[in-house]
A = this chain, B = another copy of it.
Amino acid sequence: MIRADSLTGLRLAISAARRSGRRVALVPTMGFLHEGHLSLVDLARAHADFVVMSLYVNPLQFGPGEDLDRYPRALERDAALAAERGVDVLYAPGDAQMYPHGAPALTLDAPELTARLCGAFRPGHFQGVLVVVAKLFNQVRPDVAVFGRKDYQQLALVRRMVRDLDMGIEVLGGPIVREADGLAMSSRNVYLSPAERKDAPLLNRALEDADAALAAGDTGTAAIVEVARARLGTSSRIRPQYIELVDPETLAGVDRVVPGHVLALAVHLGSTRLLDNRALGGPAPDRMA
């Protein structure tokens, strides 16, 4: 595995693969890798010949008071995991490489999509995500890019950006990878206290309950959301931020549920904010680690 921390090094590392016509995949991450990230490497490998993983904690997507300073980092461990999983190039740029002129003047948005779900609670977050993803796309020029479905809104936004700007990149969403008890893997799970960690699988349980309700014939959004909310309510530690049923592409709320609609939720559990989601009515889309 080649390691690059500059754009020059990155381009050099990719150029031979590019010249020989290999299909290049990009797996963008913020590091502190877990099986969720590493499963994306497998997916990338299945659709490309050469896998670049980027590792960058993008300050632009953190709001004031969010966890930029304490976001967990473990570069050397990440490099070992990435190499072991078959990543060809690990690109870990610093802020001076990514934002040499400070915050960019150029802004990206898709207001119809960024105003919803997490975007309503994290102003500026997705705009920051779009900028860093656009930069990484232009730096790497991948044929394929792979994102986890856990950050569902991010995936939908990146797909829209690629389509609307003709970026010519195939965007793949990797299934959510879960701990044995159902908790979706997240770098932020390390923030959880033992008691919080014990309650955290309720997010997935809530999604499963909702899916069961749909399977049992409930199609009203309010009823299905209530089923999920009731499950979350069995823990006094969990404070739901939103529980919404949305169209998988537009992220617009739906009144009646059909298979494929996405139930997305965010909660606070202690000082940690956790996300989860599930496409209802389909084959179980997730995998256990």
Contact = CB atoms under 8 A, between A and B. Distances in A.
Nearest to A136: B166
Interface stretch (A69-77, A84-92, A101-109): A101-109
A107 B106 contact: no
Residue of A113, A131, A138 with highest tally of chain B CB at under 10 A: A138
A167 B7 CA distance: 12
Find the residue from A108, A110, A161 having the highest chain B CB count within 10 A.
A108
A111 B106 CA distance: 8
B166 A135 contact: yes
A165 interface: yes
Contact of A164 (B104, B110, B165): B104
Interface in A103-148: 104-113, 130-131, 134-135, 138-139
Given A131-B165, A166-B7, A168-B138, A108 B110 contact: no
Contacts of A130: 106
Contacts of A165: 104, 106, 131, 134-135, 138
A131 B166 CA distance: 10
A164 B111 contact: no
Contacts of A163: 101
A239 interface: no
Nearest to A161: B106
B108 A112 contact: no
B101 A105 contact: no
Interface string A223-250: 0000000000000000000000000000
Contacts of A112: 105
Contacts of A7: 166
A172 B138 CA distance: 19
Nearest to A165: B134
A107 B105 contact: no
A161 B108 CA distance: 10
A110 B107 contact: yes
Contacts of A3: none
A160 B106 contact: yes
A49 B134 CA distance: 28
Closest 10 CB pairs of A and B: A104-B164, A106-B164, A105-B110, A138-B166, A135-B166, A106-B110, A107-B109, A134-B165, A139-B166, A106-B161
Interface of A: 7, 101, 104-113, 130-131, 134-135, 138-139, 160-161, 163-168
5 contacts: A101-B164, A104-B165, A105-B112, A131-B164, A135-B165
